[in-house]
Amino acid sequence: MASTIDETGKSHERTIVHTGQHYDPSLSRVFFEELDLPEPDLNLDVGSGSQSTQTGKAMIRLEQVFEKLRPDVVLVQGDTNTTLAAALAGRKLGIDIGHVEAGLRSHDLRMPEEHNRRLTDHLSSYLFAPTDRAAKNLQQESCWGSPVVTGNTVIDACLKYKDKAEKFSRIFESIPYDQFALATVHRAENVDSPVVLREFCTAFADCPLPVVLPLHPRTLMRLRESGLEVHLRASKNVKILPPVGYLDFLLLLSRCSFVLTDSGGIQEEATAPNIRKKVFVMREWTERPEAVEAGYCELVGTKHAYIAARIHEFLVSGISPSKPCPYGDGRAGARIANFVSSLQPMSNSKPESLAPLGVQNAP
- pLDDT tens digits, 310-329: 999 999 998 888 899 999 99
338 and 306 share one domain = no
Cβ atoms within 10 Å of 9's Cβ, excluding its own:
6
* 103 within domain boundaries: yes
Q: Position 65: which residue type?
A: V
Q: Does 186 qualify as catalytic in the annotation?
A: yes
Q: What percent of the chain has pLDDT over 90?
A: 76
The yes-or-no verdict on residue 175 having pLDDT over 90 is yes
348 versus 17: the higher-pLDDT residue is 17
Q: How far from 49 is each of 110, 120, 230, 252, CA to CA, in Å?
A: 18, 21, 27, 31
Q: Which of 18, 22, 99, 186 is catalytic?
A: 186
CA distance linking residue 280 with residue 309, whole number of Å: 11
Q: What is the pLDDT of residues 153-163, one digit of tens each?
A: 999 999 999 99
Q: What is the pLDDT of residue 355?
A: 39
How confident is the prediction for the chain on average, in pLDDT? 90
Q: Minimal CA–CA distance to 268: which of 287, 242, 247?
A: 287
Q: In terms of pLDDT, which residue wins out, 363 or 120?
A: 120
Whether pLDDT at 1 is above 90: no
Query: Do residue 355 and residue 243 come from a single domain?
Result: no
User: Which segment of 82-86, 258-262, 355-359 scores lowest on mean pLDDT?
Assistant: 355-359
Task: Tell me the pLDDT tens digit for each residue of 14-33.
Answer: 899 988 765 555 556 787 88
Q: Quick check: is 310 in a domain?
A: yes
Residue 58 shares a structural domain with residue 40: yes
Domain assignment present for 322: no
Neighbours of 74 (CB within 10 A): 24
pLDDT given for residue 6 in this prediction: 54
CA atoms of 348 and 11, how far apart (whole Å): 23
Partners of 126 in the β-ladder: 98, 146
CATH of the domain at 38: 3.40.50.2000
pTM, entire model: 0.88
Per-residue pLDDT for 47 more than 90?
no
Same domain for 32 and 117: yes
Both 216 and 146 in one domain: the answer is no
Three-state DSSP at 156 gives helix
The answer on 24 and 95 residing in a single domain is yes
Whether residue 244 is found in the same domain as residue 174 = yes
| pLDDT for res 11 | 57
Q: Residue 145 pLDDT > 50, yes or no?
A: yes
- At 84, the pLDDT band (50, 70, 90 cuts) reads very high
Q: Is 232 part of a structural domain of the chain?
A: yes
- Do 21 and 162 reside in the same domain of the chain? no
The whole domain housing 355 covers 2-151+330-361
Residues 168 and 312 grouped into a single domain? yes
Condensed to tens digits (0 to 9), the pLDDT of residues 86-144 reads: 999 999 999 999 999 999 999 998 889 999 999 999 999 999 999 999 999 999 999 99
What is the predicted pLDDT for the residue at 40?
86
Share of the chain above pLDDT 70, in %: 90
What confidence score (pLDDT) does residue 245 get?
A: 92
Rounded CA-CA distance 151/84 in Å is 21
What is the per-residue pLDDT for 9?
56
